[in-house]
Structure 1
Amino acid sequence: MAYAVTRNELKSGDTIYYINTVSRIPGEKTKRKTVMVEKYSANELRELGEQDPQAYVNRRADELREMSRNVVRTMNYQVDFTIRLSLSGEGDLQVSDDCRNLGFAAYSRLYHRLELDEFVNNRRRYLDCGFNINVIFQHLLYSRCLWPASKKNTWEHKDRFFGDTGYGLQDVYRSMDRLLQWRTDLLKHLDAKVKEKFGRRDTVVFYDVTNYYFERDEADDEDGLRAKGPCKEHRPEPIIQMGLFMDELSIPIAYELFRGNTNDCETLPQAMDNSIIDFSDSRKIVVADKGMMSYYNIMKIRDARNGYVISQSIRKSDSQTKEFALSCEGWERTLDDNGNVVSMIKERTIPKRASAYGDMDDSRHSGIYNERQVFIWSRKYSDRAKRERQAVVEKALQSEGKRSKEFKDSSYGKSKYLRKSPVKAGELVQADWCLYEFDAARLEEDEKYDGYYLICTNVIGVEDESGINPDKPSGHAYYRDSDGFLVLNHVVPASEIADIYGGLWKIEETFKVTKTGMLSLRPVFHSRQDRIRAHFLICFISLVLERLLELQLGWQYSAKSIQESLSSFNALQLANSNIYQVAYYDVIVDTILKTLDIDISRKFLQQSDIRRIIGQTKKKDYEG
């Protein structure tokens, strides 16, 4: 039963308002029963002091709706006690037809606030297809966030969602093909709406690369994505490389896919060229780890008149850089309560010569560019490096004095700290075997750099506050062609550069969400290249929805805990009725519903209540 307001204009000039109850007639699909509850005259309401009779009647209807929700109602229904529990082939309880999920309402709120429904509907109306791509797209996203599984499994369990589920498995795959065709426009739309609705700031852009493996032994041909390469999990199967751009809010911006044997360093320039991010018209600061530290990448960023903040290994640096890092002079120290040094920071600006092979030929090209270098030492990182090395050193000591027929040196694992004799002046001496000797000198050399790391950048600020342009925002930046520095409109100390680089850990945590976390993006089971690309597109947008939900919650809950709570937030339909009983509720669900202003607060809900709640999540005027 629902309340509706109608009106009747009289010839006298008065307006009569009616508040009616509308209820469904059992056995009839289209007929409804209407009963008048209250009647008001506009003239009489004005005489009583109501300036806006229509607004008064609407408020009164809302009051009646709220009162009806709080009325205690009882009903009789029958239960078939002969129905037994059944198991699926995988040993899990089946999702029965009378059990529905309510947790997807949180993602529905975000989906519609981002106006993804309008994006899809504006395009599907020109397609000649007998299925609703918008519905299928939502189910693919919500299922990936709640119960990550194959597309077939998602289709088989589509009935756990309320609403339209009348589509076939082939419709799912056809929808994936269409979505892939819209990929660029879809990512641009998503980026624009995140900026508009959630205040995305993309001056600082984080970039990193990871890979995902496939459950197959053979790689694709040269035109395919799957190839055997250095897998992050050290698995032998073919992999795909994915480069990810992320903003300061920890919300993904864009992604690019690369063949599995592509070097991490080579992905950055390709990702910049193919990304929806405009690196040429607006000033950006690209933040990346030492795997992206190459002369070509730096020149790529500088040629676009942008900034970079990229780390570099001190151990692999030149002798002058090492000497400057280990020098006791120039450090700004931070002390703990006991007066012990917790961290140190210092910087220098130097002209730097570097070289790389060019794009047009195989010749080596070199050049000089100015660079700001920030040196940091951290006691926490120093202690961690010693702990991580301790196990390797212990294994090396256990092997000291043992014989081996393997004369080849190694820089990895325990062999890193083992010398192999007989060796003379770096040359192997003829022998039947070699003897392991612990290399204390190499250990001492490595320990010198524990806790030190170097951040290279061309980002600077104004020299003092007098140089700040009051007409420009603090984040405004301009590129200084005379020396190649990107100048921000505020003072930028070395500590701020360290803080900018420190945000890179968030992208690593995002990768964990896609792998071992809640999205379970790997392993990938698709074989066709277009379906693989469509799979990553769906997973990426699911990732954006998940991170936006975490942002709305103030990052107080992990992605995995959110998934566990929302996937368990189900309602069970009572036998022979349209009443659903909420079967699970916890503090995370309660926080999400209150944060997103979703009204699911009662243990028993009618089907009409659930339709109303789902309809509310589709409103565009919600601001969070």
Structure 2
Amino acid sequence: MKLTKSSSKNSTTYYVQKSYRIGDKTSTKTVERLGSIEELKARAGDKDPIEWAKEYVKKLTLSEKESRKDITVKYSGSRQIDKNIRKSVNVGYLFLKKIYNELRLPKVVEEISEKYKITYDLDDIFSSLLYTRILSPSSKEASFHYAENFLEKRNFDLHQVYRALEVLAKENDLIQKKLYENSMSVIERNKHILYYDCTNFYFETEEEDGFRKYGISKEHRPNPIVQMGLFMDADGIPLAFSMFPGNQNEQPSLAPLEKKIISDFGIDKLVVCTDSGLSSAPNRRFNDTKKRKFITTQSIKKLKDFLKEFCLSDEGWRKTGSKKTYRISELDPVEDYHTTFYKDRWINEDGLEQHLIITFSLKYQAYQRKIRGRQIEKASSCLDHPSTLTKRSANDYKRLLSQEHITRHGEMAEKSLIKLDMKKIAEEELYDGFYAVCTNLEDNAESIVRINHKRWEIEECFRIMKTEFKARPVYLSREDRIKAHFLTCYASLVLYRILEKRLTAQSPEVSFSCHEIIQTLRNMNMLVSLGDGYIPVYERTDLTDALHEISGFRTDLEIVSNRNMKKIFTKMKKEEK
């Protein structure tokens, strides 16, 4: 605290003031009005009024330090609030900022800034784009304005955001490489079992160009799309990604990105797990080496007849921990409902020796038949409406309908006859409950099935980007800015996944959903008490407790003093190194 004075033409008034900080902005607050020189003389007695005032300020400062843990906040019912001063700030981003700093991304971005001689704050822009993608996903302009809600005030202009995107796109490979390298000291990475999959993202436009092309949209939208190929490690943390035009086949995208991982990341011994859409013969051969192996979903329908018969046959099934064999027709619908049975053999497909593993589950069979039952209901509603029949996809319920143009007497019908295709339905039911994978690993069937089962996590990565992070639709048009947009989505996903893994390790008995974690971070707001500190206005829960435990700081005190908040930032700054 300090003694200040305000002079006018006729008098001088003395005040006690203290400095305070909101993020990186410093200002002052009047703590007490001491009055004019005459009023000071009255309070000072025999002492010099100015010396008395200085001693009084010193006592207030000491008293505040002694009672720092118990802060009394005073408000007036007659005084207006200050103009242009934020009274509420978000601190949820601090838990992401801690991981951002631990990954030493400020240092990475600093090197990029020096390379391009950038004068604006590229680190502030990049980090803000990551935090807002998680906390308030929207357009770049909306993200720019949302960043004003953070405790630390942003230090860049909107036009600089778009300039930054161009630079980030050029350094895409470097940032991915550094993210991986630096993450090794932040969290343990299971990098020898990798999962690869592709998805696509649509644009709010009808015009395609060299990068945005019409293709098969995952959302079945009639818009141009771009495609993303993503590698994920065995713990569900993204490893690398690539972008390619929407009209290209996704199968050739695997090898180039895998080669980049091998050369740039130094990972040469690995097992790549994919779904059937990416299990082409060239991809299998690419990973048929001493150091590289594959596990891929295998369509039973596409196997040769004798192998198909082996897969669907009734006998020869086993379950983990038992040498006994079982018949599917003799399984108990209650006792065996949750058990997965399997059988396997080595085959030669596409010139490759492969280990074919088939699983069967009554639960999976019931699930598939439940889904088909709903599709049959939908298909039945089309029986009297031939005009509703359009081109059918592999999973469209209209595939279960057949259309006849002749009567039972062999004459041309005036009206097409639509009916349920019972033969088609019966054929599909033959495969219910069965699932197959092919691999060149010599491991036992149980471990291979266990590895393949985790493939759902890469689907979850795409779901998080599309739903929670709202990565699409994309409103950018330039290719470099589009790629930079997905770089920020990817980096945000890395931050989130590391946070999620730490929460799981901290509270293994509690399961926090993705939506719950992100919503909690979004709602972690604090009231600014000028000169005193920050008062939480969010609900304290098991999740907020876990967030503070894994991060090593607390914002859930009744009031967090300016001094303690400064300590949090100082500690985070040290973690950049």
Aligned residue number for residue 71 of structure 2: 73
Q: Kindly state the Cα deviation for residue 442 of structure 1 after the two structures are TM-superposed.
A: 2.5
Measured in 2, the distance between the counterparts of 1:586 and 1:347 equals 51
Q: Choose which of 336, 340, 346 in structure 2 pairs with 1:340.
A: 336
Aligned residue number for residue 53 of structure 2: none
Aligned residue number for residue 33 of structure 1: none
Q: Kindly state the Cα deviation for residue 581 of structure 1 after the two structures are TM-superposed.
A: 1.9
Deviations 1:541-569 (A, max 9, x none): 01100010000000731222112111211
Q: Kindly state the Cα deviation for residue 96 of structure 1 after the two structures are TM-superposed.
A: 6.8
Once superposed, what is the RMSD of the aligned Cα atoms?
A: 3.6
Deviations 1:108-138 (A, max 9, x none): 1101111111222234245433322122222
Q: Which moved more, 1:369-378 or 1:112-121?
A: 112-121
Measured in 1, the distance between the counterparts of 2:73 and 2:417 equals 86
Deviations 1:212-260 (A, max 9, x none): 111111111xxx3211111111111111111110001100001111111
Aligned residue number for residue 478 of structure 2: 528
Measured in 1, the distance between the counterparts of 2:259 and 2:377 equals 47
Relative distance call for 1:333 and 1:123 in structure 2 (3 A) is closer
Aligned partners of 2:101 and 2:573 also within 8 Å: yes
Does residue 269 (structure 1) correspond to residue 225 (structure 2)? The answer is no
Does residue 175 (structure 1) correspond to residue 164 (structure 2)? The answer is yes
Aligned residue number for residue 238 of structure 1: 224
Aligned residue number for residue 417 of structure 1: 400
Give the letter aligned to residue 513 of structure 1: I
Aligned residue number for residue 351 of structure 1: 348
SS in 1 for 2:553: coil
Q: Kindly state the Cα deviation for residue 102 of structure 1 after the two structures are TM-superposed.
A: 1.2
Measured in 2, the distance between the counterparts of 1:552 and 1:230 equals 37
Relative distance call for 1:436 and 1:410 in structure 2 (3 A) is farther
Q: Choose which of 306, 315, 338 in structure 2 pairs with 1:329.
A: 315
Q: Which moved more, 1:328-337 or 1:254-263?
A: 328-337
Aligned partners of 1:404 and 1:434 also within 8 Å: no
Aligned partners of 1:135 and 1:164 also within 8 Å: no
Q: Kindly state the Cα deviation for residue 301 of structure 1 after the two structures are TM-superposed.
A: 2.0
Relative distance call for 1:100 and 1:324 in structure 2 (3 A) is same
Does residue 444 (structure 1) correspond to residue 433 (structure 2)? The answer is no
Q: Which moved more, 1:541-550 or 1:265-274?
A: 265-274
Deviations 1:188-226 (A, max 9, x none): 111112223211011110011111111111111xxx321
Q: Kindly state the Cα deviation for residue 395 of structure 1 after the two structures are TM-superposed.
A: 4.2
Aligned partners of 2:200 and 2:227 also within 8 Å: yes
Aligned residue number for residue 58 of structure 1: none
Measured in 2, the distance between the counterparts of 1:309 and 1:406 equals 38
Relative distance call for 1:277 and 1:593 in structure 2 (3 A) is farther
Q: Choose which of 203, 213, 218 in structure 1 pairs with 2:202.
A: 213
Q: Kindly state the Cα deviation for residue 73 of structure 1 after the two structures are TM-superposed.
A: 3.1
Does residue 370 (structure 1) correspond to residue 353 (structure 2)? The answer is yes
Structure 1 stretches lacking a partner, 5+ long: 2-22, 31-63, 86-94, 355-367, 461-491
Q: Kindly state the Cα deviation for residue 450 of structure 1 after the two structures are TM-superposed.
A: 0.4
Aligned partners of 1:404 and 1:433 also within 8 Å: no
Aligned partners of 1:131 and 1:167 also within 8 Å: yes
Higher relative contact order (CA closer than 8 Å, sequence separation 6+): 2
Aligned residue number for residue 487 of structure 1: none
Measured in 1, the distance between the counterparts of 2:277 and 2:450 equals 19
Relative distance call for 1:321 and 1:621 in structure 2 (3 A) is same
Q: Choose which of 529, 542, 563 in structure 2 pairs with 1:608.
A: 563
Relative distance call for 1:513 and 1:228 in structure 2 (3 A) is same
Q: Which moved more, 1:255-264 or 1:404-413?
A: 404-413
Give the letter aligned to residue 214 of structure 1: F
Measured in 1, the distance between the counterparts of 2:487 and 2:383 equals 52
The percentage of counterpart residues that share the same residue type is 31
Measured in 1, the distance between the counterparts of 2:154 and 2:388 equals 66
Relative distance call for 1:404 and 1:510 in structure 2 (3 A) is closer
Deviations 1:428-475 (A, max 9, x none): 975544323443233222111101111000011xxxxxxxxxxxxxxx
Q: Kindly state the Cα deviation for residue 269 of structure 1 after the two structures are TM-superposed.
A: 2.7
Aligned residue number for residue 133 of structure 1: 122
SS in 2 for 1:376: strand
What is the TM-score when the length of structure 2 is the normalising length?
0.79
Q: Kindly state the Cα deviation for residue 620 of structure 1 after the two structures are TM-superposed.
A: 2.6
Q: Choose which of 545, 549, 559 in structure 1 pairs with 2:499.
A: 549
Does residue 308 (structure 1) correspond to residue 294 (structure 2)? The answer is yes
Does residue 456 (structure 1) correspond to residue 452 (structure 2)? The answer is no
Does residue 495 (structure 1) correspond to residue 434 (structure 2)? The answer is no
Measured in 2, the distance between the counterparts of 1:577 and 1:408 equals 67
